[in-house]
Amino acid sequence: MKAVVHDRYGAPDVLELTEIDQPVVGDDQVLVRVRAASLNPADWHFLRGLPYLVRLLNGLRKPRKATVLGSDLAGQIEAIGKHVRQFRPGDAVFGRTRAAHRPDPRAAVATGGCAEYACVSADLLVPKPANLTFEQAAAVPLAALTALQALRDAGEVRPGQQVLVNGASGGVGTFAVQLAKSFGAEVTGACSTKNLDMVGSGPTRSSTTPKRTSPRVGGGTTSSLTPGIGRCPTSDAHSPQRGPWSSSAGRPVVGSMAWLARTRRAGCPRWRANGCARSLRDGASRTCS
């Protein structure tokens, strides 16, 4: 099969389009025919081997095995392992791979989404909602789970709270805006001036954030602050009222892909920053507007 492979750290020119063997399905895995894949900052870190902490996971001088990047993917199941019960061949799925940071020790090549086929643990996939294209679904997992973890699990956002999303026009920020709104919060999005129209057209109040300036939450009313990836650390933000602040940066992504899939299947027409999300949290559906 064709795949984009790298076996050393460096700039994108170390990537090579080549032919490799199709991966063999393990007992708890499924073989996915990849229809779409997305790249995240995590893929860039593992490609460059920076920061050097990455090399403790993946090899000091070079990756421990040739790697196919693409941490998020969507596609159709071609084959299943003997212990897999929740999927059948032909099912449309989306989810995450662990090719770069937790490769399958049994595989000769760590296969991510940038290949014709990928072997993925069944517990990292969920059924793709029918109203999402493969391309849309592949853009969801890492960014949306990061936002979900920060807001629902760490921030414990509740109806009536005010939430500031720094970097509201970014990959994590666009999901954070919609998820916070679906939880019943009043959302303010901070972004650069070039993205003001996009953020302002969604379910937020928008404000501009000058470059190299940390946001300061004033008035003592904002109860949750969610910095986006690559933005200022939470310690650089200040508020006279301490609340359940959460950060989407520097935390492991632990969330529910199934929860996100149920949210999308509820029928929200535009699951981006200029749309809304519907929450099935606690068994009750609510449409943000």
Domain that holds residue 54: 2-138
Tell me what pLDDT residue 241 has.
Answer: 46
Q: Is 167 strand, coil or helix?
A: coil
Please indicate, yes or no, whether residues 122 and 12 belong to a single structural domain of this protein.
Answer: yes
Please indicate, yes or no, whether residues 31 and 103 belong to a single structural domain of this protein.
Answer: yes
CB 226 within 8 A of CB 152: no
Please indicate, yes or no, whether residues 91 and 119 belong to a single structural domain of this protein.
Answer: yes
Structure tokens at 108: 């000769």
CATH number at residue 195: 3.40.50
Q: 57 or 116: whose pLDDT is higher? A: 116
**pLDDT tens for each residue of 176-233:** 999 999 999 999 888 888 888 888 776 665 554 544 444 444 444 455 556 554 444 4
Stated pTM of the model? 0.75
**pLDDT tens for each residue of 101-120:** 777 777 878 889 999 999 99
Number of domains in the chain: 2
Residues 6+ away with beta carbon under 8 Å from 69: 4, 6, 15, 39, 43, 46, 47, 99, 100, 112, 113, 114
Confidence label for 240 from pLDDT (cuts 50, 70 and 90): very low
Please say which residue of 109, 138, 167 terminates a domain. Answer: 138
Q: 59 or 258: whose pLDDT is higher? A: 59
Average pLDDT, the chain: 78
Please indicate, yes or no, whether residues 14 and 105 belong to a single structural domain of this protein.
Answer: yes
**pLDDT tens for each residue of 122-147:** 999 999 999 999 999 999 999 999 99
Please indicate, yes or no, whether residues 19 and 118 belong to a single structural domain of this protein.
Answer: yes
High-pLDDT (> 90) share of the chain, % = 54
